[in-house]
Each structure stands twice: as structure tokens, then as C-alpha cells.
Amino acid sequence: MSDAPPTLVGKLALVTGASRGIGLAVAEELQAAGSHVVRLSRSLAEASADRRTDLPCDVSDPAAVARVAARILAERGVPDIIVNNAGIFFIKPVADATPDDFARTISVNLTGPFLIARTFVPHLVRRGSGHLVTIGSVSDHVPYTGSTAYAASKYGLRGMHEVLRAELSRTGVRTTLVSPGPVDTPIWDAVDPDAKPGFTKRRDMMRAEDVAAAVRYAVLQPARVDVTEIRLMPTVYTARG
């Protein structure tokens, strides 16, 4: 018995945080593989093009997620692939991190993926197929100093991924956690790792396309295969990340 060649033609993908960085690369990769891609982020203007729809959405806002989800379901149907990617990041010692810094990080990095999952998972389960991809981080399993909020959000996200995997294990819905180390995207601009000792330099970091290739690998496996977790690190990196 031979498997059909891998393709996403006719599939609908939803990618959060797709205006730049990893999310943009994932959206482009999934579109290149044949799917129609819905891209969400706060700064994207509403637009549509060939096999692409852009919708503005703050994923940490329950009402905004409900509104955008209702539109996607009504206008395009139930997504086949959902990539929870939107995220924010800062580095500060715990005493310098404000309650607002902490709350905002949890709200975008953890509540956002929860809101997306709780909205769409019942539809995937009813259909008996679908793939929920979560972009975690090396910070979902390695503690880095200055990362209290980010680590809390990403360790939490890994926990949520594991629970969703258990809840969905008999439904036909797949779940994949992709956990990259440093990737050269605008998320590092405020940190400026090239100017600070102890950080992986931008030239050594992975590229957003490397993470997109991992997502593509996971979603193109035959339906019987669930790629549960992918960890990626730059070949050359410092212990600080």
C-alpha cells in the first residue's frame, strides 16, 4: 500500500502571529505546500489574496478571538491546521519585571493559545481530523535567568499541549509542540544579543524558515502519524540561549 504524495492542497490553515518572524514563515510555507492560509495578528490589515486571508486579531482578547473565529468558520469552514504561534518575550530579573509585564506575557503566550484551542478544537473533534501545532520554545523545558514570565508561559504551554494531546488521543486530531532555541527574528530586537555577552549571536541563530520546515514536516506526515514534539537548537549556541 502506498501513501498519497504529501500535499496541503485544499486544506485550510490558521496561523496566529503571522505578520512577521516565525509565524510569517510558517504561513508562507503552508501556503507554498498548497493550503489556504488565514493569518492573524494585531497589526495585519484585513485583506485577501490568492489562498490567503489576513484578519486583525489580538489573540489575548476573548471577544476578538470569538469574533474572528466565527468569521473563519462561516466564510472558510473548519481549519485543518492551526498554528498557535503569536508570542512576546522580554528579559528582566524578577524584581524588575512588573505585574503588568508578567500578566501580558501570560495573556499573549498562554491564554491566547488556550482561547484559540477552546474555540476550534470542538469543531476539529466533530469532524474527526485536524492538527493543532503549538510553537513552544527551548524555554518550555530549560530555565534561563531573566525569563520568569516567558518561562512560566512556555512551560505552561507545554503542559497545555500535553493535556490536549491526552484529551484528543482518540479523536483523530493531532497535536505537535515545536520548541525552538534562538531564531533570528524581530523578537530579539529589544534584547540586542549581538551587543551583549553570553547570548547566541544573530548569525548563529536559526532562521524562521527552519522552524517553518519543522511545522511542514509535522503536518505532512500520514494521518496515522502524530509528531508529538520537535526540539530545534542552533548548531552553535551559548548556554544562555
Chain mean position to CA 198: 26
Q: Which is nearer to ligand NAP, 7 or 192 (CB)?
A: 192
Q: Which is nearer to ligand NAP, 127 or 201 (CB)?
A: 201
Alpha-carbon gap, residue 107 to 101, rounded angstroms: 10
Gyration radius (Cα) of the chain, Å: 17
Alpha-carbon gap, residue 155 to 112, rounded angstroms: 15
Minimum gap (Å) between residue 148 Cβ and ligand NAP: 15
Minimum gap (Å) between residue 128 Cβ and ligand NAP: 28
Active site members: 150
Pairing outcome for strands 47-49 and 52-56: antiparallel
List residues near ligand NAP by CB under 6 A. Answer: 16-23, 41-43, 57-60, 85-89, 108, 135, 137, 180, 182-183, 185-187
Q: Which is nearer to ligand NAP, 16 or 35 (CB)?
A: 16
Minimum gap (Å) between residue 9 Cβ and ligand NAP: 26
* Amino acid letter for position 119: T
Minimum gap (Å) between residue 11 Cβ and ligand NAP: 22
Alpha-carbon gap, residue 80 to 6, rounded angstroms: 14
Q: Which is nearer to ligand NAP, 67 or 126 (CB)?
A: 67
Q: In a 3-state reduction of DSSP, which class is residue 231?
A: strand
Q: Which is nearer to ligand NAP, 126 or 192 (CB)?
A: 192
Strand extents, DSSP E, 36-97: 36-41, 47-49, 52-56, 81-84
Minimum gap (Å) between residue 178 Cβ and ligand NAP: 8
Strand order in the sheet with 229-232: 47-49, 52-56, 36-41, 12-16, 81-84, 130-135, 173-180, 229-232
Pairing outcome for strands 130-135 and 47-49: unpaired
* Amino acid letter for position 60: S
